[in-house]
Amino acid sequence: MPTAKLHQLKMAATQMSFLSTTSRRCFTVDSVILSPHLPFYTTNSLSFSLIAGKHPHFLSLRLLPALPLPPRSRRRTTVFASTMAPTTGCSQEALPPPLDSTSDPPPIFDGTTRLYISYTCPYAQRVWITRNCKGLQEQIKLVPIDLQNRPAWYKEKVYPANKVPSLEHNGEVRGESLDLIKYIDSHFEGPSLMPNDPAKKVFADVLFSYSDSFHKTVTASFKEEGVKAETDAAFDFMEDALSKFSDGPFFLGQFSLVDIAYIPFFERYIPFFLEMKNCDLTVRRPKLAEWIEEMDKIDGYKQTKTDPKMLVESYKKRFLSKV
C-alpha cells in the first residue's frame, strides 16, 4: 500500500472511537493492523474495520485505553420503530405466485421495473424490504421465481447468474443484494434509508462488509453440538454494535439499510437455534432482543416474513442433510 494512503488511513482512524460495552471504556486508534487472512474493505477510499478484543475475525485496530466514560444515567431516550421507520406505502399487497419452468416470461425490457425474488431467500428479502419501506410497491413489480424449478428463460433472458435477487431497471439487470438495496435507496423516490451523519455511514460500511462473514460464522456452527465460542462472540459483537449509537434501538440509532441487511438472517437464526440447540440467542443480549422487537413493528418487513417452522425445515435440509 502506498505510504500516502496508509497515512491517510491512520489519520482517519485516529478520529474514530469504539465503545466496548464489556469494559465501558473508550478506545482511541493508534494504528491500523491489516489481517493477512481477510479482505481489505474500502469505504470512500478509506479502508478499515473495528474490533473489540473478543472478535478476532475482524480486521484489527490497535486500541489504546483512553479516559473512562462517566457512569451511565438511569434515564435514557429510546426512539421506537413506530416513529423512526418509514411507513409510506406499506399497505398489504396481493403477492403473485412464483414462476416455474412451465411459466411464460414477463414482457422483459418493456420499461417496467421488476424485482426478481424468491419468497424464502434472505438475500432477496433484503431488497424486498427496501422496496416496501421506500413505498415503491407500484413502481417496482415483484416477480417471484421458484428456485427449485426455475424457468430457463430467467437465466437466458434476464440474469445469466441465474440467482435472486435481481432488478430490471432502465433496460439493465443488476444483482447482488447489498448493491441493490443501496441502488434502490439512492435511485428511487421515498424516505432515505441511510443517515447523513459521517460516523454512522462509516459504521454502516463496517457492518455491511461483515455481513457475509457473520453468516458463514453462524452457519458453520449448525452441525456442531451446542454453540461454538466463535459463533457466540459473533452474536456478542452484534449486541455491542447495537450499543454504539444511543439515539434509537437500531444499528445506526435510526432505522436504516443496515437493519434491513441483517434482519432476514436473524429471522432464521432465532428459531433454528431455539429448536435445534435449545438456545435463545437473545438471552443476555437485551439490545438484540429490543432490536428484533422493534423490527417486528415495521410494516415493510412484516409483509416479507415467512413461517418460522418453514424456515427451520429449510435450514435443516440445507445445512444438516448430510449429518
- The CATH code of the domain at 198-319 is 1.20.1050.10
Residue 77 has pLDDT above 90, yes or no: no
Strands 60-68, 25-33: pairing kind: antiparallel
For position 36, what pLDDT does the model report?
31
Count CA atoms within 13 Å of residue 260 on its CB side: 34
Residue 16 has pLDDT above 60, yes or no: no
Q: Is 1 helix (H, G, I), strand (E, B) or coil?
A: coil
Q: Which fold has domain 88-187?
A: Glutaredoxin (3.40.30)
The residues spanned by each domain of the chain are 3-68, 88-187, 198-319
CB neighbour class for 122 (10 Å; exposed up to 12, middle 13-18, buried from 19): buried
Q: What integer best gives the mean pLDDT of the chain?
A: 79
Report the alpha-carbon distance of residue 116 to residue 126 in Å, rounded: 12
Model confidence band, residue 93 (pLDDT cutoffs 50, 70, 90): confident
DSSP 89-127: T----PPPPPB-TTSPPP-TTSS--EEEE-TT-HHHHHH
For position 1, what pLDDT does the model report?
52
Instruction: With beta carbons less than 8 A apart as the criterion, state whether 202 and 12 touch.
Output: no
Model confidence band, residue 91 (pLDDT cutoffs 50, 70, 90): low
Residue 314 has pLDDT above 50, yes or no: yes
Residue 85 has pLDDT above 80, yes or no: no
For position 110, what pLDDT does the model report?
97
Model confidence band, residue 38 (pLDDT cutoffs 50, 70, 90): very low
Instruction: With beta carbons less than 8 A apart as the criterion, state whether 91 and 277 touch.
Output: no
**Dihedral over alpha carbons 28, 178, 83, 81 (to 10 degrees):** -80
